[in-house]
């Protein structure tokens, strides 16, 4: 148990985060699942190891730890793990992060081996989307690898571990004097010059793409130095070389991401994401289904136990040790010197990347299960023998020989049963039956052969009238008008199974697929059917009527609604999204074509979404006139309510105070309360002469005045005879220094 675990176990950090269990432990920190008791949500708490917090390099590790919080917190993107809080607990730095339910991409790689091109492009797109926000915020991750790519339980990517992140303005890492990262994913400029670049993150993404599609990183070795040397001096192999059949545009994209020169790669993740989307739009369904097959396990020559052993060995060979190529994080005082290569030990690959089948597989099976010494072939009849059987009629000699040859093929793989009387008996019985069948066919004359093996057993697929075929080439029925061809097939007596599907290339009503599809193909009269797929034409879709109404289901998620309606080309450029006073964030401001339009499903639909109300800073309006205040707040689309109050310091009709401080962040449409000065409070002095001292004092103090009693002749009657200021005069309630005005009462 680590010291960090012992320190935090069964504890509540800062009276808020209750530790539930340890999730993972790395070289720098331990991660726990915890419950935020204040917000009642599960979070991940990352606590630095005690030995690092108290070691000689404490400041360096704490700086990296805190940088992770600052870097991640500066990025707002659903594909970046959010950081909620940071603090110090018993001398140990900790982070509070989003708790992601799911697994890492590394675990998913271990489970799947290789990925389809569709899934690879989707995951790469989400990684680049997250990095795009990071790069726009001026942050370079520097440690992109499958271990730091999380796949949540909804299947979406979330990037974590910004401990090595740096600002893009810090072009080199000389401040630490160290080269940090994972060897299998390090960019050449990071190895040679210690440069932290956005293109370095893209290089790592390209290596991940290569690994997802092929099942292995391009450079591997027993020594991390060997691996980094290869990154500096060797080009990443093109995917078309290791994945035959993959679309060349995908190979070109991965090659561009993994160019050794920085200039050869996209400038940042935003540009890379644009290129990926352009490539993906050019791929059809068949291209997206591409996947490198799983490694073939050869059929053993021994029993089932050997088969299991061979399969296990194959798995071990196809999965290199994690420390060899995936988790080899290196730290070097100087960049790698490109002087002489470190010898690379030969590697054994347990994976057939091309997925080609062993052409000798069937032969090995037969050799293992059929003893060639016990196998005999029934000789075919000669022409004379066939003529004799036919009674001198050689019309069907060729068909008889053909049928005999087919039957002989089955006899060729029957065990002779040497040493086994029962086996010999069965073999003799089978051969006897074959001979009897051959004689029966021959004795039955040409009619029997014609019905079972000849032209009477099948129908010929006819040529459609509306299909032109070149001479000496296979003629396909694809493109024929189904309604016309169906009549031809009916006359021919061929049974048809018909399915319908949309097609962007084949006209409506035409045949888009057939099995068999070649004119002249044989369709068995007894068991055969012609399977046709008829085009329904181009799929059409309608822009939902309520797409611009934010409160409807379609309006809440416009992109999802358009895809559900059947549109396949949705153009949403986030840089063109707009702030809006009225349209909530994420709802559509405009769509082209307009709602209600019905068009082809592959028509480009341009969508502009709302970014919600724009954030604005509260202006400094204290001391400003009401007119100036109105202009400043209206320019920021802020609502304002006014009230008035007396003030002896603020001139009349100017602002005394506001409900929000200057520079406080607000949003369009927020309400600001403003207090306007009525100037100093002035009253008309009441007449209190003749009243008792107590009553006069109570009246004057009720106006906020201070009373001074003067009794030069003694105070026998407690009656006011004189007052100063005189009744009816205008008196300020508060003087210029902020104290109440004084009224002097003379009593007798």
- Residue-wise pLDDT for 292-313, tens only, equals 975 543 433 333 333 222 222 2
Q: How high is the pLDDT of residue 459?
A: 85
Q: How high is the pLDDT of residue 29?
A: 81
Tokens of 625: 């006139």
Mean pLDDT highest for which of 254-258, 313-317, 332-336, 381-385?
A: 254-258
Tokens of 134: 């990071």
Q: CA angle, corner 438, sides to 434 and 440, nearest 5?
A: 115
Is residue 628 very low, low, confident or very high in pLDDT (cuts 50, 70, 90)?
A: very high
In which domain, by residue range, is 411 found? 370-453
Indicate whether 45 and 24 sit together in one domain: yes
**Assigned domain for 497 exists:** yes
More confident residue, 578 or 139: 578
Indicate whether 229 and 281 sit together in one domain: yes
- DSSP letter for 382, please: P
Told to judge if 143 belongs to the known catalytic residues of this protein, a careful annotator would answer yes
Q: How high is the pLDDT of residue 267?
A: 95
Q: Is 739 helix (H, G, I), strand (E, B) or coil?
A: coil
Indicate whether 171 and 279 sit together in one domain: yes
Please tell me the distance from the alpha carbon of residue 18 to that of residue 36, in angstroms, as a whole number.
7
Q: Is 37 helix (H, G, I), strand (E, B) or coil?
A: coil
**Assigned domain for 362 exists:** no
Indicate whether 443 and 315 sit together in one domain: no
DSSP 179-235: B-SBGGG--HHHHHH-B--HHHHHHHHHHHHHHHHHSS-S---SSHHHHHHHHHHSP
**What length does the chain have?**
748
Indicate whether 314 and 181 sit together in one domain: yes
Indicate whether 153 and 235 sit together in one domain: yes
Q: Domain of 490: which CATH number?
A: 3.30.10.20
Hey, which residues does 541 pair with through a beta bridge? Answer: 599
Is residue 221 very low, low, confident or very high in pLDDT (cuts 50, 70, 90)?
A: confident
Indicate whether 711 and 669 sit together in one domain: no
Q: What is the mean pLDDT of residues 21-45?
A: 88
Least confident of 33-42, 59-68, 157-166, 605-614: 59-68
**In Å, how far are 51, 129, 331, 404 from 148, measured between CA atoms?**
24, 15, 18, 66
Q: Are 463 and 489 in contact (CB under 8 A)?
A: no
Q: Closest Cα to residue 325, out of 149, 187, 218, 184? A: 184
Indicate whether 673 and 686 sit together in one domain: no
**Assigned domain for 551 exists:** yes
Q: Closest Cα to residue 338, out of 195, 217, 204, 225? A: 225
143, 201, 247, 268: the active-site residue: 143
250-272 confidence digits (pLDDT tens): 999 999 999 999 999 999 999 99
**In Å, how far are 465, 476, 479, 488 from 468, measured between CA atoms?**
8, 9, 10, 16
Indicate whether 72 and 115 sit together in one domain: no
Domain end call among 559, 576, 609 = 609
- Tell me the H-state helices in 444-593: 446-452, 482-492, 553-556, 558-565
Please tell me the distance from the alpha carbon of residue 533 to that of residue 594, in angstroms, as a whole number.
34
Mean pLDDT highest for which of 203-207, 459-463, 516-520?
A: 203-207
Please tell me the distance from the alpha carbon of residue 436 to that of residue 463, in angstroms, as a whole number.
40
Q: How high is the pLDDT of residue 246?
A: 95
**Assigned domain for 340 exists:** no
Q: Is 21 helix (H, G, I), strand (E, B) or coil?
A: strand
**Assigned domain for 343 exists:** no
| Structural domains in the chain (count) | 7
Q: Are 167 and 138 in contact (CB under 8 A)?
A: yes
Kindly provide the b/e burial profile for residues 8-27, where b requires at least 16 CB atoms within 10 angstroms of the residue's own CB.
beeeebeebbebeebeeeee
More confident residue, 390 or 442: 442
Q: Domain of 297: which CATH number?
A: 1.10.510.10
Please tell me the distance from the alpha carbon of residue 193 to that of residue 520, in angstroms, as a whole number.
67
Is residue 241 very low, low, confident or very high in pLDDT (cuts 50, 70, 90)?
A: very high
More confident residue, 224 or 185: 185
Indicate whether 152 and 249 sit together in one domain: yes
Which residue has 């490109």 as its token pair? 338
Is residue 165 very low, low, confident or very high in pLDDT (cuts 50, 70, 90)?
A: low
Q: Evaluate if residue 361 carries a pLDDT over 60.
A: no
Domain end call among 409, 428, 453 = 453
pTM over 0.95: no
Domain end call among 60, 83, 98 = 98
Least confident of 406-415, 707-716, 719-728: 406-415
Q: Evaluate if residue 500 carries a pLDDT over 60.
A: yes
- Percentage, residues of the chain above pLDDT 90: 43
Beta pairing, strands 706-710 & 742-747: parallel
DSSP 103-119: EEHHHHHHHHSS--HHH
Q: How high is the pLDDT of residue 624?
A: 93
Q: Is 476 helix (H, G, I), strand (E, B) or coil?
A: strand
More confident residue, 436 or 55: 55
**Assigned domain for 170 exists:** yes
Say which residues have a Cβ less than 8 Å from residue 395's Cβ, sequence separation at least 6. 446
Q: What is the mean pLDDT of residues 328-342?
A: 34
Q: How high is the pLDDT of residue 61?
A: 67
Q: How high is the pLDDT of residue 378?
A: 36
Please tell me the distance from the alpha carbon of residue 674 to that of residue 661, in angstroms, as a whole number.
11
Indicate whether 497 and 562 sit together in one domain: no
Q: How high is the pLDDT of residue 448?
A: 57
Q: How high is the pLDDT of residue 48?
A: 84
**Assigned domain for 334 exists:** no
Please tell me the distance from the alpha carbon of residue 314 to that of residue 371, in angstroms, as a whole number.
28
Q: What is the mean pLDDT of residues 704-711?
A: 90
Q: What region, left, alpha or beta, does residue 413 occupy, with left being phi > 0 and alpha being psi -120 to 50 degrees? A: alpha
**Assigned domain for 279 exists:** yes
632-676 confidence digits (pLDDT tens): 999 999 999 999 988 888 888 999 999 999 999 999 999 999 999
More confident residue, 337 or 552: 552
Tokens of 552: 């409807």
Please tell me the distance from the alpha carbon of residue 657 to that of residue 641, in angstroms, as a whole number.
12
Please tell me the distance from the alpha carbon of residue 691 to that of residue 727, in angstroms, as a whole number.
13
Average pLDDT in the chain: 77
Q: Domain of 63: which CATH number?
A: 3.30.200.20
Q: How high is the pLDDT of residue 321?
A: 33
Indicate whether 192 and 301 sit together in one domain: yes
| Tally of CA atoms within 13 A in the half-sphere of 411 that contains its CB | 20
């Amino acid at each position: 148990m680590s010291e960090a675990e012992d320190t935090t176990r069964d504890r509540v950090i800062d009276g808020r985060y209750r530790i539930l269990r340890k999730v993972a432990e790395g070289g720098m920190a331990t991660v726990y699942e915890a419950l935020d008791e204040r917000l009642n949500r599960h979070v991940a708490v990352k606590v630095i190891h005690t030995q690092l917090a108290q070691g000689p390099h404490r400041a360096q590790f704490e700086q990296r730890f805190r940088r992770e919080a600052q870097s991640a917190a500066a990025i707002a993107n659903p594909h970046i793990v959010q950081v909620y809080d940071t603090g110090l607990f018993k001398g140990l730095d900790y982070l509070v992060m989003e708790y992601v339910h799911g697994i890492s991409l590394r675990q998913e790689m271990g489970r799947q081996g290789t990925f389809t091109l569709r899934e690879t492009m989707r995951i790469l797109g989400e990684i680049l989307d997250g990095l795009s926000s990071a790069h726009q915020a001026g942050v370079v991750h520097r440690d992109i690898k499958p271990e730091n790519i999380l796949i949540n339980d909804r299947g979406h990517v979330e990037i974590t571990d910004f401990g090595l992140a740096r600002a893009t303005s810090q072009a080199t890492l000389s401040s630490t004097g160290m080269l940090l990262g994972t060897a299998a994913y390090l960019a050449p400029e990071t190895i040679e010059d210690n440069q932290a670049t956005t293109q370095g993150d893209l290089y790592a993404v390209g290596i991940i793409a290569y690994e997802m599609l092929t099942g292995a990183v391009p450079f591997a070795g027993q020594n991390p130095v060997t691996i980094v040397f290869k990154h500096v001096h060797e080009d990443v192999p093109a995917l078309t070389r290791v994945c035959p059949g993959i679309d060349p545009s995908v190979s070109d994209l991965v090659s561009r991401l993994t160019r050794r020169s920085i200039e050869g790669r996209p400038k940042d993740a935003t540009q890379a994401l644009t290129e990926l989307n352009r490539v993906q739009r050019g791929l059809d369904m068949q291209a997206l289904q591409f996947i490198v097959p799983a490694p073939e396990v050869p059929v053993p020559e021994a029993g089932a136990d050997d088969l299991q052993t061979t399969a296990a060995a194959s798995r071990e060979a196809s999965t290199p040790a994690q420390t060899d190529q995936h988790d080899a994080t290196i730290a070097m005082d100087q960049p790698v010197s490109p002087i002489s290569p470190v010898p690379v030990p030969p590697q054994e690959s347990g994976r057939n990347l091309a997925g080609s089948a062993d052409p000798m597989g069937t032969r090995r099976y037969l050799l293992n299960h059929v003893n060639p010494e016990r196998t005999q072939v029934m000789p075919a009849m000669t022409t004379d023998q066939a003529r004799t059987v036919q009674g001198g009629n050689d019309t069907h000699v060729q068909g008889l020989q053909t049928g005999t040859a087919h039957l002989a093929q089955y006899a060729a793989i029957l065990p002779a049963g040497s040493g086994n009387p029962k086996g010999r008996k069965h073999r003799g019985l089978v051969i006897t039956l074959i001979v009897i069948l051959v004689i029966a066919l021959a004795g039955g004359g040409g009619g029997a052969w014609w019905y079972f093996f000849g032209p009477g057993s099948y129908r010929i697929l006819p040529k459609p009238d509306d299909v032109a075929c070149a001479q000496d080439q296979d003629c396909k029925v694809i493109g024929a008008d189904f309604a016309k061809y169906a009549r031809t097939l009916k006359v021919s007596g061929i049974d048809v199974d018909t399915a319908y599907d949309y097609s962007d290339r084949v006209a409506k009503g035409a045949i888009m697929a057939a099995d068999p599809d070649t004119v002249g193909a044989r369709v068995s009269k007894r068991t055969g059917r012609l399977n046709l797929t008829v085009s329904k034409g181009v799929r059409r879709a309608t822009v939902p009527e309520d797409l611009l109404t934010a409160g409807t289901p379609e309006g809440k998620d416009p992109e999802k609604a358009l895809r559900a309606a059947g549109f396949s080309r949705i153009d949403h450029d986030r840089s063109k999204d707009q702030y809006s006073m009225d349209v909530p964030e994420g709802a559509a401001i405009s769509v082209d074509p307009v709602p209600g339009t019905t068009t082809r499903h592959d028509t480009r639909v341009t969508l502009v979404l709302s970014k919600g109300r724009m954030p604005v800073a509260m202006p400094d309006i204290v001391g400003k006139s009401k007119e100036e205040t109105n202009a400043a707040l209206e320019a920021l689309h802020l609502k304002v309510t006014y009230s008035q109050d007396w003030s002896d310091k603020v001139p009349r009709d100017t602002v005394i105070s506001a409900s929000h401080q200057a520079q406080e962040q607000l949003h369009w449409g927020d309400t600001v309360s403003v207090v306007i000065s009525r100037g100093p409070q002035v009253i008309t002095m009441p007449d209190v002469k003749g009243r008792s001292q107590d009553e006069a004092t109570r009246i004057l103090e009720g106006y906020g005045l201070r009373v001074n009693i003067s009794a030069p002749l003694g105070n026998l009657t407690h009656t006011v005879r004189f007052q100063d200021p005189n009744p009816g005069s205008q008196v300020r309630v508060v003087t210029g220094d902020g104290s109440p005005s004084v009224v002097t009462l003379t009593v007798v």
